[in-house]
Structure 1
Amino acid sequence: MAGSHKASGRRPEGGRSATRPRPSGVRFGIAAGVSLLVLLTAGAGWMYIQLDGNIETFGADGISGDRPPASANGSNVLVIGTDARTDGNISFGGGKKGDIGRSDTAFLLHVYADQKHAVAVSIPRDTLVDIPSCKLPDGSWTTRQSNTMFNAAYSVGQTPKGNPACSQNTVEKLTGLRVDHTVVVDFKGFAKMTEAVGGVQVCLPQDVYQKDLNPNRSTRGDQIFAKGPQTVAGQQALDYVRIRHGIGDGSDMGRIKRQQAFVASLLKKVKSDGLNPTSLLPLANAATQSLTVDPGLGSADKLISFAMSLKDIDLHNTKFVTLPWRYQGARVAVVHPDAEALWAALKADRTLDGQDAGRHHDDQAGAASPSPGATPAVSGTGISVAVYNGTTVTGLAARAADALRQHGFTVTGTATAIVRTQTKTVIEYGPGQQDQAEKAAQVFPGAEVSATAAAGIKVILGKAFAADPTATPSTVPGAVPTGVADGARSADDDPCSNLSYG
């Protein structure tokens, strides 16, 4: 899958002996953050010669021909952290040299068209998704897989290098967004990166022992991290981001929170050191030695050109969120329609706080205002609504249902009302549901709210809604659900905040 472009004179990697036993079953996650850092900080012509020979590409022939259309509303970069044991990585992560390539962490980085904002959406490795047809090493294509863990996409073909094209196909299928570039980072790239910057400040919510890193130990072992802030680099940084057990509920969800905090802290460290050749050359050199990218970023000039377009994104405008999720047994299920609302926001180039970050805004534009007559964003997360067409206008209920979904409401069904001479739109609600009904009414300017004895919320559409296109809430696309926006981390947040789940 990989290796279509790589310098023959690449320096060999020296092995590093482990200072304590490391379990082969513990997966690596935060390596994905390395490529994000390169994308946000690299960017000077003097890097070209040294970096160009470091970069490896994977074959584009494995990328699906059935893709979402390209868009001018920003760009999307899939960043994958792999626990592959090839090319010297076994000395960092344990395991067996012949293990297949696996992805452990992935996020979709959306860079807004204004080139002043970015958001990284983490996709949990255990998320149940549909994996579309993917290319195998022998040239054949697999059949579609349903309800399969997301990280299985990278392992399609069972090769040590993995299958990044299949992961890209899966993300496009999941999100409906076109992935413009894909970047894969391994163990040693992450470890060397943290050493190149002189260490990164992290924080622990509690003391951590060897058993927290290796749950197969019979005793808790020595303390490896003390509670509170500290600086880590190399193998110690790798141990930090791989800790899963013994913190919160011991799940990958908590580890994602700590990994997001780590990447934020890494970005902050690079910014504080200054973007100059002395600090950035060893940093970028360490990272690119372990990058595998799509052909569109397969040379230093392409990578640097893309990176230079991101130099004005500051820490506060760099956000980290997680795909809306819930537990489904031992796995993770996508929460609908919250996930669709998030993807719609990115597709419309709206930031988490509702700003229109499209390319047409200049530096003085500030937060964008809705178009005339547009409905402000409403959070309908957790509210179920049935929609009835109280007019003779065909397709009105479907149009209103789409608008409600854009605001996060769950539409339980659409139908034709018994009475079809409705003038105003009416929101009917059952006992204890007035607050929810009033939220639904915000989506339909001029709607009336009415209590009934029957449980549930009904939207009965009137002629006013049919006649006034400016009252249609679909004129404001991409409202991010409150739960997603409220849970976001900024790259300038306190490194000790929000570090565990459960």
Structure 2
Amino acid sequence: TIVVVCAIGWASYRNLSSGITTSQALADEPPSPGTDQNILIMGLDIRRDQQGRELPQDVYDALHAGDENSGEDDSDVLMVLHVPGKGGAITAISIPRDDYVDLPGCPTSNCRGKVKHAYSLAYEHVIERGGSGDAQGGARKANARDAATREQRAREAGRKAEITTVRRFLQIPIDHFIEVSLVAFFQIARVVEPITVCLDHDTSDPYYSGADFQKGVQEIDASQAMAFVRQRRDVNDEWFTDLDRTRRQQAFIASLVTALRHRAVLTNPGVLHHLLDVVKQNVAVDAGFDLAGFLQKANAISGTPLVLYTLPVIDFTQIADGQNVNMIDVPTLRSIVHHLIGGDSRGTAPPSSVSALADGATTTQTTAPGIVLNVVNAAGREGLAASLEKALATGKLTKGKASTAASTTAKSTILYGPGAQAAAAALGDELDLTATASKTLAPNTVQLTAGTDFRADDYLDDNGSEPSATPTTTVTTVAATPTGNVMPSPTNLTRMSANNVPCVK
């Protein structure tokens, strides 16, 4: 939404980049090899501004979202925006926020949880430790300057964690990111209200979002828009799920795009000025993102179709700690995403080879013969060492010993003995790890120790066993809008066009 808004107003405001918050969170991330771009959009469940300050009370009242302490500080909206370098339809892929995944490098002993929590775990870790790496001080006890600095450090940690989690989860490069706060969403809606939306049936959620809407096409104000996109329960429909909430957000984006394209809002300098002020106050982007150039390009292709997808889940379940999560088929989701965005932006083969590359299959390594690979499971994931041996000991690497460490280790490592440097370096390139020489390992031996930061989902399914070489779930693509009494199932991949106002559940 932010991107589209700014793109349309680009011709009037060329100084957008000045004053916007920039981040180094993507400094070490590998980009797409071609001209395509993958942009991760993160919508934060944080009820404070960029400096960690409280918002005005009237904003909290309108948000239906409690006070400054009510949010979970996580990335409540996750969307990968794929922009083809050579033109064509722009694809937006929504990741359900409760998908149960590995959280690489998380600051807790259990690095597995909801995909949205990658941000909040890293964020809260910095806040609780005072933001400087020491154990002194608590959240928001320093003066205003220190609080603002700590807030930015915490958000930077959250950005890095979320980007890494999504990149490894879907096995795609992330070229840029846009971070949007909850209040930005509200303020944009306030500037362009009323907004036309359409619902398939009467709906009400008096407990969480405050939503109360009638069936059919209707115009809503900014406060109602927040309830529209945040609804996750319906007293009239026990089958209303969090994926329906995701499709509400997509429908709102489609409605907003339609309004901006067809109403005089776009030619009103005062309105555009307010929109750009919202961006500067409530949005962060990576420092390498030429936002001005991107928006100029986006403006040139503003008539290009935008297609929005929501990834499917297998089931909704409750895990041991009481959390309600989405159980997913990781290889299948990767295959879907790789097919949707094509080979150019993945840094892999074209779609005809997607299945093998999406499911953890490895390429033959050009290493010296007779190199033994030993794997130590220090991640606390059952069966991981054996699965890694089977997956990685291919070509010139031969299977060695698979073992389990006495305790978990946070950081994964690769060690090598004499004669095994090339093999270890090749393995390190594949796993994004640095290989280190060891004086204790036998010649022609490589030892991989998989810690809790290791992307185990690449090699294990959700039951802790080795994933199949091809997607294990048959997925049907359906329209995101209901047809008669037929509603999208959580197990469906749903598709929505942003060319009009869609009527959703």
With normalisation by structure 1, the TM-score equals 0.57
Written as runs of structure 1 = structure 2, the 5 A alignment for 1:175-190 is: 175-190=170-185
Is 2:37 the counterpart of 1:47?
A: no
* Cα distance in 2, alignment partners of residues 93 and 184 from structure 1: 21
Equivalent in the alignment of 1:311: 299
- Given that 2:22 and 2:286 are in contact with CA atoms closer than 8 Å, whether structure 1 keeps it comes out as yes
Written as runs of structure 1 = structure 2, the 5 A alignment for 1:397-412 is: none
Deviation at 1:494, TM superposition (A): 4.4
Equivalent in the alignment of 1:37: 4
Give the letter aligned to residue 48 of structure 1: R
Q: Deviations over 1:302-329 (max 9, x none)?
A: 3221111122445672010012322141
Give the letter aligned to residue 70 of structure 1: S
Equivalent in the alignment of 2:78: 106
Equivalent in the alignment of 2:165: 170
Q: Deviations over 1:358-404 (max 9, x none)?
A: 9xxxxxxxxxxxx9xx98x9999xxxxxxxxxxxxxxxxxxxxxxxx
Equivalent in the alignment of 1:129: 101
- Given that 2:47 and 2:68 are in contact with CA atoms closer than 8 Å, whether structure 1 keeps it comes out as yes
Give the letter aligned to residue 47 of structure 1: Y
Equivalent in the alignment of 2:66: 95
* Cα distance in 2, alignment partners of residues 334 and 184 from structure 1: 25
Give the letter aligned to residue 277 of structure 2: N
Q: Secondary structure at the match of 1:331?
A: strand
Equivalent in the alignment of 1:74: 36
Tell me how large the CA RMSD over aligned residues is. Answer: 3.6
Would the alpha carbon gap of residues 335 and 73 (structure 1) be closer, same or farther in structure 2, given more than 3 Å must change? farther
Give the letter aligned to residue 242 of structure 1: R
Written as runs of structure 1 = structure 2, the 5 A alignment for 1:329-368 is: 329=317, 330-346=324-340, 348=342
Would the alpha carbon gap of residues 483 and 231 (structure 1) be closer, same or farther in structure 2, given more than 3 Å must change? same
Q: Secondary structure at the match of 2:10?
A: coil
Equivalent residue in structure 2 for 1:205, among 191, 200, 206: 200
Would the alpha carbon gap of residues 280 and 111 (structure 1) be closer, same or farther in structure 2, given more than 3 Å must change? same
* Cα distance in 1, alignment partners of residues 95 and 311 from structure 2: 6
With normalisation by structure 2, the TM-score equals 0.56
Percent sequence identity over aligned pairs: 26
Would the alpha carbon gap of residues 57 and 69 (structure 1) be closer, same or farther in structure 2, given more than 3 Å must change? closer
Equivalent residue in structure 2 for 1:256, among 246, 271, 276: 246
Q: Which of structure 1's runs of 4+ aligned residues deviate more than 6 A? A: 377-380
* Cα distance in 2, alignment partners of residues 64 and 144 from structure 1: 27
Would the alpha carbon gap of residues 78 and 286 (structure 1) be closer, same or farther in structure 2, given more than 3 Å must change? same
Written as runs of structure 1 = structure 2, the 5 A alignment for 1:115-126 is: 115-126=87-98
Long gaps (5+) in structure 2: 50-54, 128-150, 318-323, 357-389, 392-473, 480-493
Deviation at 1:264, TM superposition (A): 0.8
Q: Deviations over 1:428-479 (max 9, x none)?
A: xxxxxxxxxxxxxxxxxxxxxxxxxxxxxxxxxxxxxxxxxxxxxxxxxxxx
Q: Secondary structure at the match of 1:84?
A: coil
- Given that 1:322 and 1:484 are in contact with CA atoms closer than 8 Å, whether structure 2 keeps it comes out as no
Is 2:112 the counterpart of 1:147?
A: yes
Q: Secondary structure at the match of 1:157?
A: helix
- Given that 2:308 and 2:497 are in contact with CA atoms closer than 8 Å, whether structure 1 keeps it comes out as yes
Equivalent residue in structure 2 for 1:283, among 275, 280, 302: 275
* Cα distance in 2, alignment partners of residues 340 and 210 from structure 1: 34
* Cα distance in 2, alignment partners of residues 346 and 145 from structure 1: 32
Would the alpha carbon gap of residues 43 and 133 (structure 1) be closer, same or farther in structure 2, given more than 3 Å must change? same
Written as runs of structure 1 = structure 2, the 5 A alignment for 1:368-407 is: none
Long gaps (5+) in structure 1: 1-33, 135-141, 216-222, 351-356, 359-370, 381-412, 415-480
The structure number with the bigger radius of gyration is 1
- Given that 1:57 and 1:295 are in contact with CA atoms closer than 8 Å, whether structure 2 keeps it comes out as yes
Would the alpha carbon gap of residues 74 and 236 (structure 1) be closer, same or farther in structure 2, given more than 3 Å must change? same
Equivalent residue in structure 1 for 2:476, among 483, 491, 501: 483
Equivalent residue in structure 1 for 2:217, among 229, 251, 265: 229
Deviation at 1:38, TM superposition (A): 3.4
* Cα distance in 2, alignment partners of residues 41 and 211 from structure 1: 36
- Given that 1:194 and 1:237 are in contact with CA atoms closer than 8 Å, whether structure 2 keeps it comes out as yes
Q: Secondary structure at the match of 1:488?
A: strand
Q: Secondary structure at the match of 1:107?
A: strand
